[in-house]
Amino acid sequence: MRGAYKVPYASRGSILGATEAAALGQLLASGESLSMGSWRERFERRFSEYAGTRYALSVTSGTVALELAVHLLDLAPGDEVVVTPQTFQATVQPLLDRQVRVRFCDIDRESLNMDPASLKSLITDRTRAILLVHYGGWPAEMDEIVTMARERGILVVEDCAHALGARYDGRRPGSLGDIGCFSFHASKNITTLGEGGMLTFDRDDWAERIDRLRSNEVDGVFVAGDTSPLDAPELLPWMKYSSSVYRDACLGVRRSGTNATLSEAACVVGLHQLDRLEDLVDRRRAIAARLNAVVDRHPHARADRPRPGVHHAQHLYTCFVSGPPGTREALVRGLDARGVEVQLRYFPLHLLPEWRSRGHGPGECPVAEELWFTEHVNLPCHPGLSDEQVDHLAEALDAALEDARTVIENAESRTTVPSIKETSHAAH
């Protein structure tokens, strides 16, 4: 389609307004530090309360959160990690830097989340971790997955980038496995000025390691002891380091540190965004309900609906259309022609060239491949849409589904009308 879309896909997944602007103005006028200050502490404390975990440690992006989470797994060469193919590449990309065997687990047809039945068949004695996503904001079936993991001492990392505002039988994503990783990118359900991330977990040792790493300190194994050389220079009171720099000995380095400090400006905005989260997600759910009502009128289409007890955060709106080749394309082209932007999320990761180079390829996850290439559709669903845009979206979806039905009916007519030869034979 040429020109601007009447209903564009979200460039912003949240709404920033006067509240956030006023908070930023107060911070700038206060003269307080703009890094590693009180707002970060408040944001992290509030987020840990929200997620239901002992710790919530902020970092500069969801990608960094995932990289540090994989680091905490302490994977060794030859270990195996089971991952989902239906996610953004950042979920599993850190594993490319490690000499581990990655096993892609096929997905559930309804939720597009990791399928517990497929997962069971992939777990071996060498499996050390499971990396999954709560696709689109629909929590994965964590009870089954975590039970399998606990029986075998396997760690579970949740990519919660889509899941802010979701609930799973009364609990929040980020507290369901061992480590939760959140993103506050501009497109997500809340944002910290475009970029930001958070790790959630309960372990004290992980909190110490992440805090060191994000603050440009080494993640190492240190022991206390009197190891000071006799000629060590004196440390005066105003110097940065304490006497522990001479007293402690480093037995090994797991990883060098980095600067992953989320700024005070980002944290003050994040705190106010978190207070608005439920209203933002309610708007997403209202839009999704409107679209579901349209989809339900068409027998060749279906919407995703979680079971009772599972509450969708609707970061993505996903529906499916089935039929002969060309059906999904007719739907997408019909939407585009009517001013609705469609972006399919996400290309099956095991088919990317970097993963094909490690032995993965077509046929490995047949459900993920079938749905993405023939049925899967994502539609705009974000709180920035006006009521008029939602009306247009619903009308365009209804009309485009009719376009798809025409493709199906034409295909059926070609297969049911007898050929001249068949008619002639029947006459004899």
pTM value surpassing 0.85: yes
Note the pLDDT of residue 159.
Answer: 98
Strands (DSSP E) contained in 4-160 are 55-59, 80-83, 101-104, 127-133, 155-159
Q: Which residues pair with 114 in a beta bridge?
A: 107
Instruction: For residue 90, give the nearest of 70, 111, 108 by alpha carbon.
Output: 70
Give me the CATH topology for the region 18-224+249-264.
Answer: Aspartate Aminotransferase; domain 2 (3.40.640)
pLDDT score at 425: 45
Predicted local distance difference test score (pLDDT) of residue 243: 66
222 beta partners: 250
| Ranges in the chain, pLDDT < 70 | 1-3, 226-231, 243, 415-428
What is the full DSSP assignment across 402-427? HHHHHHHHHHHHHHHSPPHHHHHHHH
Q: Is residue 120 annotated as part of the catalytic site, yes or no?
A: no
State residue 232's pLDDT score: 74
- 3-state DSSP helix/strand/coil % of the chain, to nearest 5: 40, 15, 40
DSSP state of 89: G
Taking the alpha carbons of 198, 199, 202, 207 in that order, is the dihedral positive or negative? negative
Q: Find the catalytic residue in 6, 120, 188, 240.
A: 188
Looking at residue 224, what is its pLDDT?
83
Summarised one tens digit per residue, pLDDT across range 210-257 is: 999 999 999 999 888 766 666 677 777 777 777 677 778 889 999 999
Give the C-alpha separation, 318 to 111, whole Å.
Answer: 9
For 319-365, the pLDDT digits (tens) are 999 999 999 999 999 999 999 999 999 999 999 999 999 999 999 99
Query: What is the reported pLDDT for 222?
Result: 87
Residue intervals in the chain for CATH 3.40.640.10: 18-224+249-264
In sequence order, the 6+-apart residues with CB closer than 8 A to the CB of 276 are 14, 15, 19, 190
> Among candidates 40, 62, 68, 42, which has minimal Cα distance to 214?
68
- Single-letter amino acid code for the residue at 303: A
Based on the number of CB atoms within 10 Å of its own CB, is 320 exposed (0-12), middle (13-18) or buried (19 or more)? Answer: buried
Tell me the residue type at 79.
D
Print the SS3 string covering 165-229. Answer: CCEECCECCCCCCCEEEEECCCCCCCCCCCCCEEEEECCHHHHHHHHHHHECCCEEEEEECCCCC
Task: Tell whether domain 277-413 is in CATH 3.90.1150.10.
Answer: yes
How many whole angstroms separate alpha carbon 36 and alpha carbon 239?
Answer: 19
CA distance 352 to 348: 7
Looking at the chain, which residues constitute the CATH 3.90.1150.10 domain(s)? 277-413
